[in-house]
Structure 1
Amino acid sequence: MPQSEDEHLVDLAARLEREDPRFARALRSGRPARPREYRRTGAWWGLALGVAVLGSGIALSQGLLIAGGLVLVGMAAQLVDPDPTRPGHRGTGPR
């Protein structure tokens, strides 16, 4: 027996609540909030930390700090722009 439209909506709301509770609360209250996919605050903090570690490694001439800073910057840069296949994106990505 096919489900009714109301049951589909209830299932969708429950899944949204599980995946991103902050966004679901914002929808209920009528105040807009960015979905989890568009929140990049942690990535920017990681990028800043990586640049700081890289700069201190260069200033102190410590290869381990330089390598760690480069790794952190690379990881954070990937998190800032995780979807290289979107239209208008410069660069090559998987096809």
Structure 2
Amino acid sequence: MPVPHDNKLREIESRLHREDPRFARAFADGRPCRPREYRYRRAWLLLVTALGALATGLVLAHGLLIAAGLVFAGVAGELFDPHRRERGTRCPPPES
């Protein structure tokens, strides 16, 4: 007869496997990797590109490159937040 906690553990395990299969597979193998929320490869790449565009815009005195570099740096900064998906939107959609 299954214990009630077993059902909860199975539910947590299946949710973890659905959300991040790479992490769940590595955890089962005994060599855990970082969860998806803490993998920042794309954020670092975007930040380096943004700073490159910003520096180029400053050297060439080109306003559009400066603005693009600042915008992309802001987007990269947002990507570093591990809980960005949990917050959702600021304004909920209107109910019909």
**Common fold: TM-score over 0.5:** yes
SS at match of 2:31: coil
Give 1:6-85 correspondences, 5 Å limit. 6-81=6-81
Cα distance between partner residues in 2 of 1:14 and 1:81: 25
Q: CA deviation at 1:80?
A: 2.5
Gaps of 5+ in 1: 84-95
SS at match of 1:57: helix
Q: CA deviation at 1:59?
A: 2.1
Q: Is the 8 A contact 2:53 2:69 kept in 1?
A: yes
Instruction: Provide the aligned C-alpha RMSD in A.
Output: 1.8
Moved more, 46-55 or 72-81: 72-81
Q: CA deviation at 1:81?
A: 4.5
**Cα distance change, pair 67–82 in 1 and its aligned pair in 2 (3 A):** farther
Identity of aligned residues (%): 51
- Aligned letter for 1:25? R
Q: CA deviation at 1:62?
A: 1.6
Q: Is the 8 A contact 2:43 2:80 kept in 1?
A: yes
**Cα distance change, pair 36–53 in 1 and its aligned pair in 2 (3 A):** same
**Cα distance change, pair 22–82 in 1 and its aligned pair in 2 (3 A):** closer
Q: Is the 8 A contact 2:38 2:82 kept in 1?
A: no
Cα distance between partner residues in 1 of 2:70 and 2:54: 6
